[in-house]
Amino acid sequence: MRKVIVEKKILVANEEFANKNREFLTAKKLPCLNVISSPGSGKTTILAKTIEALKGKVRIGVIEGDIQTDIDARRIRKTGAPACQINTEGACHLSAAQVSFALHKLPVDTLDLIFIENVGNLVCPSALDLGETAKIAVLSTPEGDDKPAKYPAIFARAAVVLINKIDLLAAGDFNIEKAGADVFKINKKAKIFPVSAKTGQGMSAWCDWLEEMAAKKEIPA
């Protein structure tokens, strides 16, 4: 009982910060995308390649969530984009309070778009509101095509599903049609982009979608 009450208090506090973040982002007309996946799906590589592809068109900042280290923030800064590292010190997801802190560290007035790279975890980050504009799910082909069926919560809430590492399709047994059909079963509105951040395959469709969103400041239909 006590545990339930404490967890409820934490969620209420999170919701307050999430609402503040949403108000802040709305006032600045800044789209903010919360990227969620398992560890190793290629989130940081996707973000670094996206930043490079959109250089001169969309000014991007990144909030990097990791349990420990600033390895990913350093990889992002190498592209020239500002990145704020949040270490969760063991926690398996970012909180809205941590995102609020990071939003005040980033040079938001010089940005058109913010990515949040959440801690690698397909489960609880999907349930936690950070005040983001939309959630983006990343699924890489070596993880298996059963993930949308096994972890429906994130795929149900995602505006976009990136199927990454399609360069490895021939070497594995990932069925891209099955994965796509399973996503559509739980989320009719999801946009699916099959990509390889490594080879660049499919990345232009995803980057065009982002460019359109950053120009209109809203999620394209």
Partner whose footprint covers residue 187, from Zn ion, Mg ion, none (CB < 5 to 8 Å by kind): none
How is 121-141 classified by DSSP, letter by letter? -SSGGGT---S-SEEEEEEEG
Q: How many CB atoms lie within 10 A of CB 210?
A: 23
Among 53, 70, 87, 92, binds Zn ion (CB under 5 A): 92
- Answer for the pair 164, 206: CB distance below 8 angstroms, yes or no: no
Residue 153 binds Zn ion (CB under 5 A) = no
Q: Token pair for residue 149?
A: 């069926």
Q: Token pair for residue 86?
A: 């949040």
Partner whose footprint covers residue 43, from Mg ion, Zn ion, none (CB < 5 to 8 Å by kind): Mg ion
Residue 211 binds Mg ion (CB under 5 A) = no
Give the footprint of Mg ion on residues 5-64 (CB under 5 A).
Answer: 43-44
- Answer for the pair 52, 81: CB distance below 8 angstroms, yes or no: no
Among 67, 124, 134, 176, binds Zn ion (CB under 5 A): 124
Residue 176 binds Zn ion (CB under 5 A) = no
Q: Which of 20, 49, 14, 41 is nearest to 32 (CA)?
A: 20
Residue 143 binds Mg ion (CB under 5 A) = no
Taking the complex as a whole, how short is the minimal distance between the CB of residue 36 and Zn ion, in angstroms? 11
Residue 120 binds Zn ion (CB under 5 A) = no
- Answer for the pair 33, 133: CB distance below 8 angstroms, yes or no: yes
| Distance (Å, whole) CA 66 – CA 74 | 12
Residue 67 binds Zn ion (CB under 5 A) = no
Taking the complex as a whole, how short is the minimal distance between the CB of residue 13 and Zn ion, in angstroms? 15
Residue 196 binds Mg ion (CB under 5 A) = no
Residue 165 binds Mg ion (CB under 5 A) = no
Among 72, 112, 132, 182, binds Mg ion (CB under 5 A): 72
Cα-Cα end-to-end distance for the chain: 43
Partner whose footprint covers residue 219, from Mg ion, Zn ion, none (CB < 5 to 8 Å by kind): none
Q: Which of 34, 26, 5, 219 is nearest to 117 (CA)?
A: 34
Task: Tell me how long the chain is.
Answer: 221
Return the number of the residue (11 or 215) whose C-beta is nearest Zn ion: 11
Return the number of the residue (122 or 166) whose C-beta is nearest Zn ion: 122
Which residues of the shown chain bind Zn ion in the complex (CB under 5 A)? 92-93, 124
Which residues of the shown chain bind Mg ion in the complex (CB under 5 A)? 43-44, 72
